[in-house]
Structure 1
Amino acid sequence: MSEFLGIKKRILDIRENVIGAIKTTDKDIAKTALLAKGFREAGQTAANAFRTFADKPEVDYSQKEQKHPITKAVLAPMKAVKKMLVSMKLHLDASIDKLDNLAMNVQLDKEKHIENTMNLKQTEPERAEAERVEAEIVNSPMVAEPQEYQYNADAFEARGADEVKQEASHKEVSKVREDKAR
């Protein structure tokens, strides 16, 4: 969709314009600072010229701390604009990376979908065979004997028969003891 609308191309164009604006702003800041320095030096030269006419010694301004609020006031908006443009460039770079990642994800999804459809076509007979084998396994008895056991019923029956035999023998022994006791 982004390729169709040309979003990435437009963002790249905006990014190039922002980079150009950053370069222009840097040049403007440098020119303004140079102009301010020239005005400062011209003012110092003029002040020293008047000092010479007044028979006063010239002042070495390179030793003095120079405060220039006007220059700072002129440069402050330019520096703010540059900071905003740099931030904008970073956001545009992030947007371009996200678009690239999105396009890559879409491409991977397409490849995965094609691979899955190929696997489905190839495995359709294999799946039918696997279901048939699974059905045979479920329906075949787990014991090698032909009869089917349910919940160990024969063991319960055998135990019950043993108990009946033991009860019968116990009754016979009891009768024999009762007979001997009489």
Structure 2
Amino acid sequence: MDAEHTEHHHGHGTHEQHDTHHEHQPGASWGMAASATLHCLTGCAIGEVLGMIIGTALGWGNLATVVLAVGLAFVFGYALTMRGVLKAGVGFRRALKVALAADTISIAVMEIIDNAVMLTVPGAMEAGLSSWLFWGALAFALAVAFVVTVPVNKWLIGRGSGHAVVHAYHH
């Protein structure tokens, strides 16, 4: 898509096309990957924390709480991405497709790591909302998920997928 886009705006010269292509997608810097991961983490964290709060407050078991947290993490993760794409004047269905393409792998990796950490920290899930153990474990889990997901996003962006898809709508 970038090559077509470039050709349309910058003439038909191969050399010029090549240079412009690199301006739009300079491989994937660690900064770009971290930014995409942070964006994803924001949505994930909102959903994850809400899910943990709701599940814990209702006295649900670990499985039900994790399922709710993961479900809400995907909802909020996609919603934040869609918000940016919708602002660019893209229709709802197209924005949803872009969000699904951009965030699915990133959110999935983040949620697997995050919930695995929460379940392996002894007593974290049972600690309750007033406990520093619960919140400390959740913050630690999100930090670990961030560190693991940055290289995944760097790889995805470098291949022209993941948040590279969203990046096209911010110009």
User: What is the TM-score normalised by the length of structure 2?
Assistant: 0.30
Larger radius of gyration: 1
User: What is the TM-score normalised by the length of structure 1?
Assistant: 0.29
